[in-house]
Amino acid sequence: MKDDVEIRVGYASCGIAAGAKEVYEKLEGEVRSRNLPVKLKKVGCVGMCHNEPLLEVEHPNGETVTYGNLEAGDVENILKCHLSEDRQFDEKLIPGRDDYDYFAKQKKIVLKNSGIIDPEEIDEYLERDGYSGLEDALEMEGAEIIDLVKESNLRGRGGAGFPTGIKWGFARGSEGDEKYIICNADEGDPGAFMDRSIIEGDPHALLEGMVIAAYAIGAKKGYIYCRAEYPLALERLDVAIDQARENGFLGEDILGTSFSFDIEISKGAGAFVCGEETALMKSIEGERGMPTSRPPYPAQSGLFGQPTNINNVETYANVPWIIRNGPKKYHEIGTEKSGGTKVFALAGKIKRGGLVEVPIGTSLEEIIFEVGGGIEEDRGFKAVQLGGPSGGCLPEEQLDTPVDYETLTEAGAIMGSGGMIVMDEGDCMVDVAKYFLDFTQEESCGKCTFCRVGTKRMLEILERISGGDGEEEDIEKLRELAPKIKNYSLCGLGQTAPNPVLTTLRYFEDEYLEHIENQNCPAAVCRDLITFNITQDCIGCTTCSQECPVDAIDGESGSKHEINQDTCIKCGTCREVCPVDAVEVV
């Protein structure tokens, strides 16, 4: 196999959803039936979700060629070009990692192996310095490791950005019969897929980071709490854990030392509140996932009442790199207060959506317009939502904001776990605030009155405004309710639930007033405030009437059609299918 051509197929959830399974199966069949000199393997997401399905061909001389937006029918042409004709298949050729400006601003630490190694082959991880960080760590004292992590300025990548080394130090210094390590892989933010992609592409990086953390604090048992809605991630974790045990990286007397540690997977049912660490621990213990008051903090009394350290997938996956390369090198990549990189799920109205990893301190404008390529169809940028339902929406005038914990908080958003949803001029900010508040209201566990009832009252106000029944006093009611919900909710879900409302009010109050004073939605999104009409440009093709789900459009073939406003549900289908753009929204 030494001189074989290697073909890597992006086989993460994004690739499979786009058709990678059919592409891979076609390749596999051709290679097997024709006994071709090809080493075929499945890899994780390289980040270019906008070009899926992806395939990368690497020749024995190291030359790499990348293809995107593939169909199974392209496989024969690719094989023919590379194996018989010594040329590229130009029709589906796209820029690769080394010559694509999508990667120019990126710095790969957590994602350095994703899209390159087979995540189910531990040998490929080992060939790229895998578990060498653990080997180095086992030659140190636990306190030395914690000092290195402190020096690196690694901060928790799952939310507020608490310094990781300090957190580990609390757990190490706590007394207990047993200590636990937990990985929070319960990624529930709408539009977020960072942790899932890391696990699907490089599960051993997570395991190695957890083992190092366990050694540092003195834990013998670890849990990965991952939602059951991530079947591929769970499957690859199962394989990786078995391989780590077989190779002496998990279990008894790891790598010949007296240190023993093992990991168990705990599957969550998808409740958003279980991303909160105290609710998560209750779920692992077999109880209903509801938050508990703090103190005591998990580092003092966590899982089963014992000292516990909790970080998310991305945080742990940074640790082996820090141990291998040193904290100073890691710290130099980020900012003075935050070392390293941050992985973002870039989604929404963006040309190049996908998984990106940039140095902390990179500006929003660089991420959205240089990495992401700008707004789809070159429409006007309106806002970017950071931090999921716990975060906020930042407008165009905030595009120069550097992405770091303190600056984003000052602007009204948060780093969060890394969701970044881009919106254009066609998005209504009242509707956006309503969407996120509806999500948090539905996901509230109901334990706290201000979260359970307060978010419901805020949602009702937003529904009135978007329905054309709002009053000017409603804006003050929203601002009055928000701090009460923040201050009197027990966990982060309730404490941050008003954030999307507050930031849209802060930056887009004129849009709220337009809804209230003129019963008008400037973005033509709020259904109760818009009407669909067919203009004189109609060619009478009948496409709209055929596609209308409620038969609200009348007209003969060849003549102008009309919409029955009493029947119309304002779904927008007619506007989407009209071949001559003869449907207007007023």
Tens-level pLDDT at each residue, the chain (586 residues): 346 899 999 999 999 999 999 999 999 999 999 999 999 999 999 999 999 999 999 999 989 999 999 999 999 999 999 999 999 999 999 998 887 889 999 999 999 999 999 999 999 999 999 999 999 999 999 999 999 999 999 999 987 899 999 999 999 999 999 999 999 999 988 888 999 999 999 999 999 999 999 999 999 999 999 999 999 999 999 999 999 999 999 999 999 999 999 999 999 998 999 999 999 999 999 999 999 998 999 999 999 999 999 999 999 999 999 999 999 999 999 999 999 999 999 999 999 999 999 999 999 999 999 999 999 999 999 999 998 888 999 999 999 999 999 999 999 999 888 899 999 999 999 999 999 999 999 999 999 999 999 999 999 999 999 999 999 999 999 999 999 999 999 998 999 999 999 999 999 999 999 999 999 999 999 999 999 999 999 999 999 999 999 999 999 999 999 999 999 999 999 999 999 999 999 8
Would you tell me which CATH number, out of the four given (3.40.50.11540, 3.90.1150.10, 3.40.50.450, 3.50.50.60), belongs to the domain 122-333?
3.40.50.11540
- Report how far residue 464's alpha carbon sits from residue 442's, in angstroms, rounded to the nearest whole number: 18
- Give the rounded distance of the alpha carbon of 46 from its chain centre: 14
Q: What is the pLDDT of residue 1?
A: 39
> Which residues are registered as beta bridge partners of 355?
345
C-alpha–C-alpha distance, residues 533 and 416, integer Å: 42
| CB 312, CB 184: distance < 8 Å | yes
Q: Are 53 and 76 in contact (CB under 8 A)?
A: no
Q: What CATH number does the domain located at 341-424 have?
A: 3.10.20.600
Given this model, what pLDDT does residue 97 score? Answer: 84
- Cα separation of 435 and 431, whole Å? 6
The alpha-carbon radius of gyration of the chain (Å, integer) is 26
CA-to-CA distance for 129 and 321, rounded, in angstroms? 9
Say which residue the tokens 């083992």 belong to. 211
Token pair for 526: 């709020």
Sheet with 262-268, strands from edge to edge, namely: 262-268, 221-227, 180-185, 308-312
Helix (H) or strand (E) holding 486, with range, is helix 473-488
Superfamily of domain 5-94 in the CATH hierarchy = Glutaredoxin (3.40.30.10)
Q: What are the residues whose beta carbons fall under 8 Å from the beta carbon of 473, sequence distance 6 or more?
A: none
How far is residue 402's CA from residue 398's CA, in Å, rounded to a whole number?
9
The rounded distance, in Å, linking the Cα atoms of 461 and 61 is 64
Pick the CATH number of 429-518 from 3.40.50.11540, 3.90.1150.10, 1.20.1440.230, 1.20.990.10: 1.20.1440.230
pLDDT of residue 288: 94
Same fold, 341-424 and 531-585: no
Scan for tokens 């980040």, then name that residue: 47
DSSP 355-400: EEEEETT-BHHIIIIIIS-SBGGGPPEEEEEESGGGSEEEEGGGTT
CB 116 within 8 A of CB 108: no
Q: What is the pLDDT of residue 2?
A: 46
Alpha-carbon distance values, 10 to 70, 114, 312, 348 (Å)? 11, 9, 24, 21
Please state the domain extents for the chain: 5-94, 122-333, 341-424, 429-518, 531-585
For the domain 531-585, what is the CATH code? 3.30.70.20
CA 5 vs. chain centroid, Å, equals 33
